[in-house]
Amino acid sequence: MTLTAPQLRKLIRLANGKVLPSSQMKGALGEEMLNEGILIGINHKSRLSYRAMSPDAILQFLKDRFNIADPAQALTAMESESMERSELVKISGDSKFKRQRTMKGFLVTALEPIETSLNGRPFVITPPEGSFVYIYDYEQFRIPEDVLVIGVENSENFRFLSRQAYLFPKKKILFAARYPLSGDFPKWLAAISNRYLHFGDFDLAGIHIYLTEIYKAIGNRASFFIPEDIEELLKHGSPERYDKQLQYGNMDIADESLKQLVALIHKYKRGYDQEGLIQRQNSNH
């Protein structure tokens, strides 16, 4: 994929904190940036807009994907009819703005040591609290069959897993972060035989993420974590969250076990953030 001057101009605007209508980020570039977690969707009733996860994320994407270290200088070069190819090489490192893959892989952690293997060598996952392990060569990452994989949607929940241990069964668990967004984590799940539990937001968008990213890849090996008191939680959830996610209201619920949760979300017209489970556990102590 070749980066055009109009596309680069849009990315510079995003890096400067601007919000762009979704119509301006249609196509392969926008889709790739969404999949990588570089763009974040913002719903305004019936309109969808995008903002950058952070200015640094845009700058790093340009550097990794197109080898552009100075976006403003590169834009000037691209818009200049007199710019020589040798000058483009100095700016971008490649006269064709070569394609590179951004950082692949995903983050994992564990509350108890998990014996795994990476590239055929033993590797124990036991990071101290506040740190995580980044698995780059995920194609060669293997875990015992009796380990439950729990995918955590939000970063705060991933950071404070010890405060949510009461939610999960007392067994071997490998926690994986959904971010950075990419197709790598579902690909890895599809290559192993372990059971998977999705720990995400209790709202229409969270269910859509699970169905389209995870359930689609591994089917009935996956399940969605639902607290026993989910109905009570939803009563105190966010009506604004529900209103902003109505575009998912008629999605196909391929996982039958989620239909009751979806019905409750529609009944109370609210969504509940999984971060609330951290706060609720803290309030009990």
- Residue pair 25/39 in contact (Cβ under 8 Å)? The answer is yes
List Cβ neighbours of 177 (8 Å cut-off, separation of 6 or more): 106, 107, 108, 132, 151, 152, 155, 158
Name residue, tokens 């979300």.
265
Name residue, tokens 């108890």.
112
Region(s) of the chain under CATH 3.40.1360.10: 106-283
Region(s) of the chain under CATH 1.10.10: 5-92
Q: Assign domain 5-92 one CATH number from 1.10.3470, 1.10.10, 3.40.50, 1.10.8.
A: 1.10.10
Instruction: Please state, in angstroms and as integers, the Cα–Cα distance from residue 16 to each residue in 51, 56, 76, 195, 207, following that order.
Output: 10, 10, 17, 42, 32
Q: What are phi and psi of 172, to 5 degrees?
A: -70, 125
Neighbours of 5 (CB within 10 A): 14
Instruction: Please state, in angstroms and as integers, the Cα–Cα distance from residue 252 to each residue in 220, 256, 259, following that order.
Output: 16, 10, 10
Please list the pLDDT of the chain residue by residue as tens digits (285 residues).
Answer: 678 889 999 999 999 989 999 899 988 898 888 888 889 888 776 688 899 988 888 998 898 888 888 898 888 887 764 445 445 444 444 444 444 455 689 999 999 999 999 999 999 999 998 899 999 999 999 999 999 999 998 888 999 999 999 998 878 999 999 766 668 899 999 999 999 999 999 999 899 989 988 999 999 999 999 999 999 999 999 999 899 888 888 899 999 999 999 999 999 999 999 989 985 544 443
Query: Would you call the peptide bond into 180 cis, given omega within 30 degrees of 0 as the criterion?
Result: yes
Q: Which of 48, 84, 62, 74 is nearest to 15 (CA)?
A: 62
pTM of the model: 0.66
Which numeric CATH code is attached to 106-283? Answer: 3.40.1360.10
Dist CA 151 CA 199 (whole Å): 6
Dist CA 229 CA 272 (whole Å): 12
Point out which residues pair with 149 in neighbouring strands.
174, 196
